[in-house]
Amino acid sequence: MRAIVYSRPGDSSVLELVDRDVPEPGPGEVRVRVVVSGVNPTDWKSRKGSSTVPTEAQETVPNQDGSGVIDAVGSGVTSFAPGDRVWLGISGWQRPTGGTAQEYTIALESRVFALPEEADFDLGASLGVPAVTAHRALTVGELLPNRLAKGSLTGRHVLIAGGAGAVGHAAIQLARWAGANVITTVSSPAKAALARDAGAHHVINYRDADVIEQIRAIAPDGVDHVVEVAASANSALDLAVAKPRATIASYANDRGGPVTIDVGASMRLNIRYQWVLIYTMGADPWRAAGEDIFAALKDAALPIGVGAGMPLHRFPLEQTAAAHDAVEGDAIGKVLIDVAPALG
């Protein structure tokens, strides 16, 4: 089988195409014939050495997310059978050879999720890190239920920072499907158009001098929940628009800088701060995310593509380096790698 590997940290030039034997699944594992591999910022950051750096003797297959078809199952696997369509999330985390930039990958059963017929493989490969992060960020609030379903957020005002990004896009779609009044902030008219196409009810440029007043005009009592991508830069804004007992769920700190919390204002509002990282959130939230995302997919609530606010950029497997460069260069939309034909 063809696989992309690297054995030392570095820029995209360390990635190489090799031929390897098809691996066999062990207990609790499944083998997936990968159709599409999804690329996220975490993939190029890991390759550069931001997390566990591979040794010279440790080949690593990049890319955490993907979609495909179950090809074989190991002993003890009960959720899947050969022929099942699936999507994968953080397949390669703590498993160097478990990435999706290869024709067959071995994944833990717990990191594989059913892909309904309503969703194609492109959509399946676009879920993983972005959709699960969005789900987690939307289910950790005191004023929100801990599961998402159609209509479960009816009557809530949800503010999503960075609505044109991959996580912001998924959060807009999941929140709207769940019935929330979705407000999002962006930095430009072009990104505003993407957020509207994703389904946001209200789109505001966070550079506007009256951004707080605009949000308060939509949610006079304050927003029930914030999904935050720039914890430091937006700290004051979030407090200014939050209602009492709201939660600020932060999954990133874009634009950098130390996060300064106004303790007095936070205490007066009984604000809850929640940090979100899906790698360490535990098995139960992953299971819940998989089930809720499946329901949203059945309702066609998570579309991608130009008309849905998420343009697609495609690369063949042998151009994985170019795909990584596109994501590192802040390509707007989703970068996908075509690994193998879908068949059937």
Cα angle 138, 201, 269; round to 5: 50
pTM (two decimals): 0.96
Q: What is the pLDDT of residues 274-327, one digit of tens each?
A: 999 999 999 999 999 999 999 999 999 999 999 999 999 999 999 999 999 999
| Alpha-carbon distances of 120 from 85, 172, 178, 231, rounded to whole Å | 9, 20, 22, 34
Q: Is residue 210 part of a domain?
A: yes
Q: Which two tokens stand for residue 126?
A: 């676009």
Shared-domain flag, residues 121 and 141: no
The pLDDT assigned to 58 comes to 81
* Single-letter code of the amino acid located at 209: A
Domain boundary among 261, 279, 297: 279
Shared-domain flag, residues 173 and 53: no
Shared-domain flag, residues 143 and 272: yes
CA distance 315 to 338: 6
The pLDDT assigned to 56 comes to 47
Shared-domain flag, residues 97 and 171: no
CA distance 14 to 44: 11
CA distance 103 to 320: 13
Tell me which H or E stretch contains 160: strand 157-161
Q: Is residue 111 part of a domain?
A: yes
The pLDDT assigned to 50 comes to 73
CA distance 159 to 104: 39
Residue range of the domain that includes 33: 2-126+310-338
Shared-domain flag, residues 166 and 85: no
**What radius of gyration, in Å, describes the C-alpha atoms of the chain?**
20
Q: Is residue 13 part of a domain?
A: yes
Query: Which residues lie across from 305 on neighbouring strands?
Result: 310
Tally of structural domains, the chain = 2
Shared-domain flag, residues 121 and 163: no
CA distance 169 to 146: 20
Shared-domain flag, residues 18 and 118: yes
Q: CB of 68 within 8 A of CB of 36?
A: yes
Which residues have C-beta within 8 Å of that of residue 27, sequence separation ≥ 6? 74, 75, 76
Q: Is residue 296 part of a domain?
A: no
Length of the chain: 344
Query: Which residues lie across from 183 on neighbouring strands?
Result: 159, 202
Q: What is the pLDDT of residues 61-75, one digit of tens each?
A: 999 999 999 999 999
Shared-domain flag, residues 116 and 45: yes
Question: pLDDT tens digits for the chain (344 residues)?
Answer: 999 999 999 999 999 999 999 999 999 999 999 999 999 999 999 999 875 444 445 899 999 999 999 999 999 999 999 999 999 999 999 999 999 999 999 999 999 999 999 999 999 999 999 999 999 999 999 999 999 999 999 999 999 999 999 999 999 999 999 999 999 999 999 999 999 999 999 999 999 999 999 999 999 999 999 999 999 999 999 999 999 999 999 999 998 999 999 999 999 999 999 999 999 999 999 999 999 999 999 999 999 999 999 999 999 999 999 999 999 999 999 999 999 987 75
The pLDDT assigned to 81 comes to 98
What is the CATH classification number for the domain harbouring 82? 3.90.180.10
CA distance 344 to 329: 35
Helix axes 41-48, 320-328, angle to 10 degrees: 100
Shared-domain flag, residues 26 and 117: yes
